[in-house]
């Protein structure tokens, strides 16, 4: 509907904000046929996707896909648009989509956010792998990173130390 320039970073930011204000297909799916996960909630960069199949014209197609993520807002936005894109596609068609394809409705992602789309691609591949739950392709991981602000934010969510009350 918008005629704005898809490569304009201001428009990208707006589209991401729009997507996370009203995310589609968010949350665990009861009775899913397949589930795929990449990353780990412990390190903050987890994305899980549930998929339900249906029959259409004699072919098995994706009826619905949902997601849950503790990644950043770009990951939420990409997952939201990606779950809409894959609905109605066969497994082969969905597996042929790259992270760039899956995030296309948001426009071109800047280099620093491409990893978010790869995270979504990895979760989808994990869910659609022949075994159903075994990862077929992990989202690419970079070399070990310094602790991020997100790591600091989550460092208090697990009890790892004793609390000694002062007198």
Partner 1 sequence: MSTIHPNLTMRELLEISPGAQRALFRRYHIGGCSSCGFRPDETLQQVCERNENLPVDEVVAYIEASHEEDLKIQIAPGDLNELLKSGQSLKLIDIRTREEFETAPLPGAELFTQEMMQESLMKWDRAGLIVFFDHQGRRSMDAAAYFIGHGFSNVKSLRGGIDAWSQEVDSSVPRYRLEA
Contact residues for partner 1, defined by CB under 8 A: 17, 20-21, 23, 26, 39, 41, 43-45, 68-76, 110-113, 115-116, 119, 142-146, 148-150, 152-166
Q: Is 58 left (phi over 0), alpha (psi -120 to 50) or beta?
A: left
Verify whether residue 72 is a known catalytic residue. no
Question: What is the rounded CA–CA span in Å between residue 133 and residue 33?
Answer: 9
Nearer to partner 1, 34 or 67 (CB): 67
Catalytic residue (choose from 20, 43, 95, 137): 43
Q: How far is the CB of 77 from partner 1 (least distance, A)?
A: 10
Residue 139 CA: distances (Å) to CA of 39, 63, 99: 8, 24, 10
Q: How far is the CB of 39 from partner 1 (least distance, A)?
A: 8
Nearer to partner 1, 74 or 126 (CB): 74
Question: What is the rounded CA–CA span in Å between residue 86 and residue 102?
Answer: 8
Count CA atoms within 13 Å of residue 2 on its CB side: 13
Nearer to partner 1, 11 or 90 (CB): 11
Residues belonging to the active site? 43, 116
């Amino acid at each position: 509907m918008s005629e704005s320039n898809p490569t304009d970073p201001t428009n990208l930011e707006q589209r991401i904000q729009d997507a996370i204000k009203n995310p589609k297909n968010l949350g665990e799916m009861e009775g899913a046929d397949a589930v795929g996960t990449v990353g780990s909630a412990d390190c903050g960069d987890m994305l899980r996707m549930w998929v339900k199949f249906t029959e259409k014209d004699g072919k098995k197609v994706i009826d619905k896909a949902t997601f849950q993520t503790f990644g950043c807002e770009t990951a939420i936005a990409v997952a939201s648009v990606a779950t809409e894109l894959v609905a109605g596609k066969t497994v082969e068609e969905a597996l042929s989509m790259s992270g760039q394809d899956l995030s296309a409705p948001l426009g071109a992602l800047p280099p620093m956010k491409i990893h978010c789309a790869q995270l979504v691609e990895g979760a989808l591949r994990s869910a659609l792998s022949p075994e159903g739950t075994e990862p077929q392709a992990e989202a690419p991981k970079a070399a070990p990173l310094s602790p991020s602000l997100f790591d600091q934010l989550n460092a208090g969510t697990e009890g790892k130390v004793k609390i000694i009350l002062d007198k």
